[in-house]
Structure 1
Amino acid sequence: MAKDRKVHEEETQEEAPIYGDILETVLSHVPLIDLVSASQVSRSWSGAVSSSLRHLKRIKPWLIVHTQSTRPPYATTAHAYDPRSGDWIQIHHQPPTDHVSALRSSHSTLSYMLSPSKFAFSSDPLRLTWHVVDAPLVWRTDPIVAEVGDSVVVAGGACDYEDDPLSVEVYDRRNGEWSACQSMPAMLKDSAASTSLSVAVHGGKMYVAEKCSGLTHSFDPNSKAWRGPYDLRPDQGVFCLVIESAGGNLIAVGVVGSPESIKTVKMWKFSGESLEDVEVVGEMPEEMVEKLKGESSYVPSVNVVARGSFVFIHNPSEPEEVIQCDIGNGRCRWGSVRNAVVNDTTRMQRMVVGCSDVAMVDLRKAMLMDDSLRFAAKHLE
């Protein structure tokens, strides 16, 4: 009898539910994509998930990487890197196929495809929801595109036979109409394509910087007017400057030296009416600079995407390594992660990199909207 009671007590202990601080600690080690199902176990588990994310291991912006074949039918793959768990995730979902063309992105939070007849764009955190509208009136091959509030700005990159290579058009998402605006500043005439310009959206404006000079202009979709130029190159040794919005500020990442011999990589933040207030955010550690260079040690340009306090930097020529920097709380915490998307096949494809705030509600909504959507952990080979 006593033996049976002891066995029963042991079984009861083994089946005792996990709750409280222990459960929250366990959940802090669970990837975000798996916390969606964990939050649906019970009300107490849902509360534990929320508490764990709030107090133990907060959600961090995701790096979104698309690769696309350069030939029809332009097969596209999507992956994401979650700094919170350190996991790469494959997203099994295809963008719209009715009007597929080259997938592009001018800044962190917007991807787009442009053909002579249609313009498709997505600012969805996971790039799952796409809007397909009529193309702008001016045919463009390599414009800069940015979403500012309810407006999608398409500027420059016009074909040679167009009258104005600097023309600007704005698509109003509220009424579904395009409108012509003041053209880009004349001094950008020789660099009015996305390959020569860097774009950031900050404070309700689109900022456009010439990568080689750092000269920057701003465009306000409400007034449809340009302002500037502003000189965002504090260090004259910078040969490539890329702007973004991070940590509540307009920031610039500058590569110092030359493409053949990088000395360092610095980051600044700007404020003030004319961006006259400049402050150094941080300088990339030497070991990170070496990883950024890659095997060839030739870096003609860098790609920068950012969201929240996270900044991701990589070398488009050798994207095997991604440098990350968390600039929150007045500190600059550097790190690096191997790009799990890069292999012999994807090196020959188009790679589009973005950054998104991905919350639990976004994952839950995505799973409800598309039954075929699947997330799978991507293991490094």
Structure 2
Amino acid sequence: MALTNDQIHGDILEVVLSYLPLVDLVPASVVSKSWNSAVTASLRWLNKPKPWLLVHTQSTRSPYEMSTRAYDHRSCAWVEVVNPAAKYVSALRSSHSNLLYMLSPTTFSFSIDALNVAWRHVDAPKVWRTDPIVAHVGGYIVVAGGTCDFEDDPLAVEIYNVGAATWETCESMPAILKDSSASTWLSIATAAGKLIVTEKLTGATHCFDPETKNWTGPYDLRPDQRVSLSIIGSSENRLILVGAIGDIGNIEGIKIWEVNTDNFDYQEIGEMPAGFVKKLKSETFGISSISLCMSGDYAHIYNASEAEEVVVCELDAAAGGGCEWRSFKNAVAGDGNNRMERVVLTSSEVSLAELRRAMGSEKAMFTVKM
């Protein structure tokens, strides 16, 4: 006999709801007051929301169509996202975290919401750039370096005040970064209200404060002299360092550290099991294009040249600290069309309220792909 809405209630309903993907809890929460309460209780006590990894693709051919799939760690399911607000301006890019942007000579478009469905389109910065670092820090968007040869200052820095909708020129990047001032050579993160910039090959690190508009550093983010590649990421002011150990062409292992942003001391969290290191290696690029995308306690490590496998380090999962390792296949990389597409990854902690807002005001649609 099928159960009716009146017969499914209390603890039974909460348990049933705990097995549903977060997307499906949006309609469930509006069935009735009792169902809304059960949804809330289920998320609070039985199966809490977990970060999403969003994989955005953009065709490299006209009309440059964009699409998004998201991996929800809570339900271990892929979600297809249809976003009518995403319009082509130029090449789709991301420097870190959940920031997406497109930069043309006339327009700077960016998205900083958790699901990357809301976009803002503003005037481009005064200095033209082809490969800058771009970060969302507090109420500012920082655009630095990556300029063309004909520009006077290859280290130029401009910040966009999101609230005031104005651009402002700031102190240039440190002169030592002159030969590596593009996102190709730099890894960035935001923590403690600052932009943190690390040279991938040396570990040399500098900080930029958009409030004072000043740079500090350098700091050494190479805990082990065998580290040949330093990649940083952050979540909730927690700065994480991923270091590839060994020669850049023959990586022996990958370790992860937590960095104190006050004195830049570091503490080792764990080492990636050899089997996962092997999954990250590319036949063409080896492991030199390793990238890190963080949200919550989840550090997503992948090879940006292919992104076929994503290795996840869940921080503090084990008793007494440390981390727990696992991996999953990138559903987008398996489509067979990725060679003709630009692939960009972001990661965010997604709430039920954010899903409701995205479905409502932004008119985005979400479909679970089990």
Fold shared by both chains (TM-score > 0.5): yes
The equivalent residue for 1:168 is 157
Alignment of 1:115 with 2:104, yes or no, is yes
Q: 1:352 aligns with which of 324, 344, 351?
A: 344
The equivalent residue for 2:175 is 186
Alignment of 1:318 with 2:289, yes or no, is no
The equivalent residue for 1:375 is 366
User: CA 1:116–1:14 in 2, change beyond 3 Å: closer, same or farther?
Assistant: closer
Alignment of 1:235 with 2:227, yes or no, is no
The equivalent residue for 1:305 is 293
Q: Between 199-208 and 38-47, report the one with greater CA deviation.
A: 38-47
Larger Rg: 1
Alignment of 1:92 with 2:82, yes or no, is yes
For residue 305 of structure 2, what is the amino acid of its counterpart?
Answer: S
**Could you say what secondary structure the match of 1:105 adopts?**
coil
The equivalent residue for 2:146 is 157
Task: State the shift of 1:285 in Å.
Answer: 1.2
Alignment of 1:203 with 2:195, yes or no, is no
Aligned residues: 366
Alignment of 1:125 with 2:114, yes or no, is yes
For residue 89 of structure 1, what is the amino acid of its counterpart?
Answer: V
Q: 2:64 aligns with which of 45, 68, 74?
A: 74
Alpha-carbon distance in 2 for matches of 1:323, 1:42: 40
For residue 326 of structure 1, what is the amino acid of its counterpart?
Answer: E
**Could you say what secondary structure the match of 1:241 adopts?**
strand
For residue 217 of structure 2, what is the amino acid of its counterpart?
Answer: G
Deviations 1:49-102 (A, max 9, x none): 1111111111111101101112332111111100110001110114443x6110
Alpha-carbon distance in 2 for matches of 1:308, 1:13: 37
For residue 306 of structure 2, what is the amino acid of its counterpart?
Answer: E
Deviations 1:159-216 (A, max 9, x none): 1100000000011112111111000001111110011100101010000000011111
The equivalent residue for 2:357 is 365
Q: Between 223-232 and 64-73, report the one with greater CA deviation.
A: 64-73
Alignment of 1:42 with 2:28, yes or no, is no
Task: State the shift of 1:259 in Å.
Answer: 3.8
Instruction: Give runs of aligned pairs for residues 128-147 of structure 1, distance below 5 A.
Output: 128-147=117-136
Contact 1:77 1:94 in 2 (8 A): no
Report the identity percentage. 50
For residue 333 of structure 1, what is the amino acid of its counterpart?
Answer: E
Contact 1:247 1:328 in 2 (8 A): no
Task: State the shift of 1:315 in Å.
Answer: 0.8
Contact 2:118 2:362 in 1 (8 A): no
For residue 355 of structure 2, what is the amino acid of its counterpart?
Answer: L
Gaps of 5+ in 2: none
Contact 2:302 2:310 in 1 (8 A): yes
User: CA 1:94–1:157 in 2, change beyond 3 Å: closer, same or farther?
Assistant: farther
Alpha-carbon distance in 2 for matches of 1:249, 1:374: 32
Q: 1:279 aligns with which of 256, 267, 274?
A: 267
Alpha-carbon distance in 1 for matches of 2:233, 2:123: 28
Alignment of 1:267 with 2:256, yes or no, is yes
Alpha-carbon distance in 2 for matches of 1:317, 1:103: 15
CA RMSD of aligned residues (A): 1.8
Task: State the shift of 1:235 in Å.
Answer: 1.2
When normalised by structure 1's length, the TM-score is 0.92
When normalised by structure 2's length, the TM-score is 0.94
**Could you say what secondary structure the match of 1:184 adopts?**
coil
The equivalent residue for 2:315 is 327
Alpha-carbon distance in 2 for matches of 1:226, 1:263: 34
Alpha-carbon distance in 1 for matches of 2:175, 2:157: 12
Alpha-carbon distance in 2 for matches of 1:153, 1:15: 51
The equivalent residue for 1:336 is 327
Task: State the shift of 1:36 in Å.
Answer: 0.6
For residue 331 of structure 1, what is the amino acid of its counterpart?
Answer: G
Task: State the shift of 1:370 in Å.
Answer: 3.7
Q: 1:52 aligns with which of 42, 51, 64?
A: 42
For residue 286 of structure 1, what is the amino acid of its counterpart?
Answer: A
Contact 2:22 2:352 in 1 (8 A): yes
Instruction: Give runs of aligned pairs for residues 14-33 of structure 1, distance below 5 A.
Output: 17-33=7-23
Q: Between 171-180 and 204-213, report the one with greater CA deviation.
A: 171-180
Gaps of 5+ in 1: 1-10
Task: State the shift of 1:14 in Å.
Answer: 7.5
**Could you say what secondary structure the match of 1:376 adopts?**
strand
